[in-house]
A and B are shown apart, each in its own frame.
Chain A
Amino acid sequence: MNGDENTKAGKGEDDNFAAAEHVLGLADAETRAAFARRLETDRALAEEVAGWETRLSPLDGGYEPVTPPPALKAAIEERLFGAAPEETTGLARLWNSLAIWRGLAAATSAAALVAVYLAVFPATTPAPTTVQLVASLEAEGAATQLLALFDPGTGQLRVTPLSVQPVEDRDFEVWFIEADSAPISVGVISQHEHNTVDISEALQRAIHEGTTIAISLEPLGGSPTGQPTGPVVAAGQANLI
């Protein structure tokens, strides 16, 4: 074993112990904070932490459940969603969430900029009308940008990647999301090209102003579970122009 390897092994051991120390929570506030910052960018270190979390997790069985006071849930939901109607959460909140999603999308390092254009049947209007909707969203360091257009005349959703860093051996999958429901798969699209997806009549009725359109990174051929399994690389909300 040469000197380099020794040094490497030494650092590995130190990091492994620092990870165990962090998981056990032994260190003081400053050390913990510094370690947490390192964790944000150091994948090897994050692996060490995950390893120790796995090793020690059987101890979690020792924590006795204690029912929290009922008011706590309402307090949390109010802080997260506010007391206002759901759709007022708005674009800023969506982008906040995208900034976090970006973390997992490290493979694409996708900061997201998405614009979604839609023309829809308003769900409550019996006679189909062509009302255009738009949402334009931005995140700092924007790297990913797609455009979605729903044409009620043809029943097709057109998705055009404007700025995308492709990820090999993965597909993009498009989802419609209503605030209170599980995402509905719309279809798998190419990361590179202009896409046209036929939208079933049922799905056409599901899309309206305020619907969130999200794109997740999935194994080739799409999510094996029917629900998103990969990071969301871009999302936007349908709005009236």
Chain B
Amino acid sequence: MSTEEISDLIKRVSLRDRRAFSALYDRTSAKLFGVCLRILRSRAEAEEAMQEVYIKIWQRADRYVPGRNSPISWLAAIARNHAIDVVRARKPVADGIDAAVDLPDDGPGPEQAAIMSGEAGRLGDCLGKLDQNKAEAVVSAYMEGYSYQELADRHAIPLNTMRTWLRRSLIQLRECLER
């Protein structure tokens, strides 16, 4: 799956090219389904989210700016955003109902492996310079879509402390990446 190929397909989708849309779906749906499943932790919800995500991709393809982000990251951002919106819109009582879905639970997920193996490149290096629990908070917020409250609960610290952690960590990260 070449970056250029995906980029080209998105461009063609922006011109209402249905064949390109079909090809784009074939090449990217597994990745985006992985994103939706990870954040929503429910197959049913993830499938529903995928419909909305690909409809957004069809509608917003013209906003893709080649060269800035990898096209797959642009698509993943749409999927992450939508999945997080769905999670945030849930009634509190619905939380955890589908927790029994056959997904790897928390703990060092594949992203940790990716960071360890250097796949995350400079970002991985810079995360490595943060305190471990703070780096984990950043990574799990991104990967799992946790809210401030969920992160605070998991780390057993007050919500405002978590907010401060993240704010400082993100400033440190940005400075490290710009160095």
Contact = CB atoms under 8 A, between A and B. Distances in A.
A161 interface: no
Contact of B34 (A65, A75, A76): A65
Residue of B112, B142, B147, B166 with highest tally of chain A CB at under 10 A: B142
A61 B110 CA distance: 8
A72 B29 contact: yes
Contacts of B31: 63, 65
B173 A63 contact: no
Give the size range of A's interface with the partner: 35 or more
A59 B103 CA distance: 18
B6 interface: no
Chain B contact residues, majority secondary structure: helix
A187 B77 CA distance: 35
Contacts of A57: 69-70, 73, 76-77
Contact of B18 (A26, A86, A97): A86
B63 A228 contact: no
A58 interface: yes
Contact of B114 (A24, A61, A68, A181): A61
Contacts of B120: 58-59, 61-62
A86 B22 CA distance: 14
Given A32-B85, A68-B50, A81-B18, A59 B34 contact: no
B122 to A, nearest CB: 8
Given A65-B34, A76-B25, A25 B145 contact: yes
Contacts of B166: 21, 24, 26
Interface string A1-43: 0000000000000001100110111111100100000000000
Contact of A53 (B14, B17, B20, B69): B69
A44 interface: no
Given A65-B33, A227-B11, A104 B63 contact: yes
Given A28-B147, A65-B34, A73-B29, A60 B72 contact: yes
Interface of A: 16-17, 20-21, 23-29, 32, 50, 53-69, 72-73, 75-77, 79-81, 86, 94, 97, 100-101, 103-104, 175, 177, 179-183, 212, 214, 227-229, 231-232
Interface of B: 8, 11-12, 14-22, 25-26, 29-31, 33-35, 37-38, 47, 50-51, 54-55, 58-60, 62-63, 68-70, 72-74, 76-77, 80-81, 84-85, 88-89, 109-115, 119-124, 138-139, 141-143, 145-148, 151, 166-167, 170-171, 173-174, 177
Give the 4 A-B residue pairs with the shortest CB-CB distance, closest first: A62-B111, A25-B84, A65-B30, A57-B73
12 contacts: A16-B174, A24-B142, A26-B147, A27-B88, A29-B85, A53-B74, A58-B122, A62-B112, A72-B29, A100-B60, A181-B17, A232-B62
Given A26-B148, A56-B142, A67-B30, 15 more contacts: A25-B147, A26-B147, A28-B147, A29-B85, A53-B73, A55-B173, A55-B177, A58-B122, A59-B115, A64-B110, A65-B30, A65-B31, A66-B34, A181-B17, A227-B12
